[in-house]
């Protein structure tokens, strides 16, 4: 199915995936209007806060396996459209746009390698590609860091959408398994940070594989 869509992408004039203007996959105006996140942030989970805090209302009291999480942009309606096209149509240009936004917004992680949230087998085959890995590879080039596939899946992940925080945590607990030994300091890349449950479960698997410090880097973040 995605094959046909890609063929159409070649034949039809390019249109902005957000506003439908002709010309580019993401037009200049929409690119400039991306809702970039800026300090002050929660030091731990990266949520925007009124002043810098070590822990915020969103993450305090939660056991999080990562040291910090940072994102380039807030997840709004435009970003949702962009990520949907990136996922469903495999538009590589969008991976580059996302990587540019991340590299602009964030300093390189204090890590010796990047890894990515491993694809859910069924779903990634259906799409034919994997945004988290594409983003990690693009960032690896920009930050001159190797990208290592360190994580596997123990089981397919039921959909997270619409679940409460506690249910999300239960849903992802144990879903990731280390595929190989991890460097001590590693950065985990994903497209969106929603509740932190997926990032924490993946970071926990990395720590079992030898990581002492895991930084999470995402393109977008849900802001409550």
CB 176 within 8 A of CB 188: no
Least CB distance to Zn ion at residue 142 (A): 24
Instruction: Tell me which stretch binds Zn ion (CB under 5 A): 6-14, 23-31, 126-134, 197-205.
Output: 23-31
**What is the C-alpha separation between 65 and 191, in angstroms, rounded?**
18
Note whether 59 binds Zn ion by CB under 5 A: yes
Nearest distance from residue 36's CB to Zn ion, in Å? 16
* Residue 64 touching Zn ion (CB under 5 A): no
Backbone angles phi, psi at 190, to 5 degrees: -145, 165
Q: Write the DSSP symbol of residue 22.
A: B
**Which of these ranges, 18-26, 96-104, 131-139, 212-220, lies near Zn ion under the rule CB under 5 A?**
18-26
Query: From CA 68, how far away is CA 216, in angstroms rounded?
Result: 6
Tokens (6 digits) for 126: 């259906």
**Per CB under 5 A, 71 contacts Zn ion:** no
Q: Which residues of 149-170 are buried (b: 16+ CB within 10 A; e: fewer)?
A: ebbebeeebeeeeebeeeebbe
Give the residue with the Cβ less far from Zn ion, 17 or 206. 17
User: What's the closest the beta carbon of residue 46 comes to Zn ion, in angstroms?
Assistant: 7
The answer to whether 99 contacts Zn ion (rule: CB under 5 A) is: no
Beta carbon of residue 41, minimum distance to Zn ion (angstroms, whole number): 8
Asked if the peptide bond before residue 79 counts as cis, ω within 30 degrees of 0, the response is no
Q: Which is nearer to Zn ion, 53 or 179 (CB)?
A: 53
Q: Count of H helices and E strands in the chain?
A: 8, 6
What is the rounded CA–CA span in Å between residue 126 and residue 104?
32
For residue 37, state whether it binds Zn ion (rule: CB under 5 A): no
Of 47 and 186, CB closest to Zn ion: 47
Contact between 188 and Zn ion by CB under 5 A: the answer reads no
Q: Which of 41, 42, 67, 203 binds Zn ion (CB under 5 A)?
A: 42
Interface with Zn ion (CB under 5 A): 16, 18-19, 21, 27, 30, 42, 44-45, 47, 56, 58-59
């Amino acid at each position: 199915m995605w094959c046909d869509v890609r063929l159409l992408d070649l034949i039809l004039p390019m249109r902005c995936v957000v506003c439908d203007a002709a010309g580019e996959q993401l037009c200049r105006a929409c690119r400039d209007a991306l809702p970039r996140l800026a300090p002050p942030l929660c030091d731990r989970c990266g949520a925007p806060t009124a002043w810098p805090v070590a822990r915020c209302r969103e993450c305090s009291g939660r056991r999080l396996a990562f040291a910090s999480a940072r994102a380039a942009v807030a997840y709004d309606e435009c970003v949702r459209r962009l990520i949907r096209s990136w996922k469903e149509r495999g538009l590589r240009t969008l991976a580059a746009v996302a990587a540019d936004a991340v590299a602009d917004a964030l300093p390189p992680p204090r890590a010796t390698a990047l890894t990515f949230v491993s694809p859910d087998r069924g779903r990634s085959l259906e799409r034919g590609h994997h945004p988290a890995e594409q983003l990690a590879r693009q960032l690896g080039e920009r930050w001159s860091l190797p990208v290592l596939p360190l994580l596997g899946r123990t089981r397919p992940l039921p959909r997270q959408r619409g679940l409460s925080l506690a249910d999300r945590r239960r849903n992802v607990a144990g879903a990731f398994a280390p595929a190989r030994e991890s460097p001590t300091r590693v950065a985990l890349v994903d497209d969106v940070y929603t509740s932190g449950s997926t990032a924490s479960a993946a970071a926990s698997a990395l720590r079992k594989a030898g990581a002492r410090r895991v930084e999470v880097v995402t393109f977008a973040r849900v802001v409550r």
